[in-house]
Amino acid sequence: MKQKTVVIALGGNALGNNVVEQRAAVEKTAKVIVDLAAEGLSLVITHGNGPQVGMIQEAMDTIAAKGDAPIPLPYSVAMSQGYIGIDLQNAIKDELAARGMDKKVSTILSQVEVDPNDPAFDHPSKPIGQFMTKEQAELKAKNGVDVVEDAGRGWREVVASPMPKRIRELLTIKTLLAAGHIVITCGGGGIPVISKDGRLEAVNAVIDKDGVSALLAEKLDADELVILTAVEKVAIEFGKPGQQWLSKISTKEAEKYIADGEFAPGSMLPKVEAAVRFAESGPNRTALITLLEKAADGIAGKTGTIIHQ
């Protein structure tokens, strides 16, 4: 019997906001992932990098201000993939060992091809880095940095977020998955690249993690995409007297809610859009949006918001 393949997109609450928080957070995350592996699921893990890539880029900009060569944003994305990936990998390995489970874990730094003519390059929208006060944001804006208010939580820097078109390390990911590995990949949406004269060239952007997770799940012929976030279920009329939690909706219903502006850009909107794309990419494919702690119950159909054709 074919193993059920699940792509799990970890939200920021699974990683923390700095190295100390991250190490504590990934220990809890690893327990959830190993619980799922113990149920016989074939797992691929993706993760965000918003706070981390912003922190790295700020450090690189500080170094450049002292006279060193500037470090482009894609390099910071690669660094974040590496240090988040190794923390996740080691935490999962430790949890597997504690349970006496003989299973391999691999982290693959991934490049994701985008369209150089994607209109997103003209309209930066992806929040990265730490939250700022309005005064700090205004100062950044005066220095030519694009900033935006992020879903009522504060101000953040924004960069271009083009749509992912091709995962360049897909064959490697497939090979490891077929060999029984838990694979960690496409961290932070992957390193954004374009193909130019047969060569890959990095571009200044951050790809949405949920978007690339949907593409990865599609190309792996996964059975389910699980997007983990800060709430147990998706809601319409969120924060209003008529708030309604959604348990199971069709892609058509989800698209109507999107058109009605029910989901906040930069928050729940990209998650629902990614879930819809995956569910519509083939027969018998479903997407789940829920809390990290509820992942197993969600996959079992007991909670979360399930999106289906």
| Catalytic sites, residue numbers | 12-13, 126, 209, 271
- What stretch of H or E contains 162? none
Query: Beta strand 42-47 with 182-185: parallel, antiparallel or unpaired?
Result: parallel
- Distance, CA of 309 to chain centre: 22
Distance, CA of 59 to CA of 142 (rounded, Å): 20
Residues 149 and 136: beta-carbon distance below 8 Å:
no
Q: How many CB atoms lie within 10 A of CB 124?
A: 20
Contacts of 44 (CB under 8 A, 6+ apart): 5, 6, 7, 8, 173, 177, 182, 183, 184, 185, 216, 217, 220, 222
Angle, CA of 151, 153 and 158, to the nearest 5°: 65
DSSP string, 246-308: ESEEEHHHHHHHHHTT-S-TTTTHHHHHHHHHHHTTSTT-EEEEEEGGGHHHHHTTSSSEEEE
Give the C-alpha separation, 185 to 57, whole Å.
Answer: 21
| Residue 7: alpha-carbon gap to chain centroid | 11
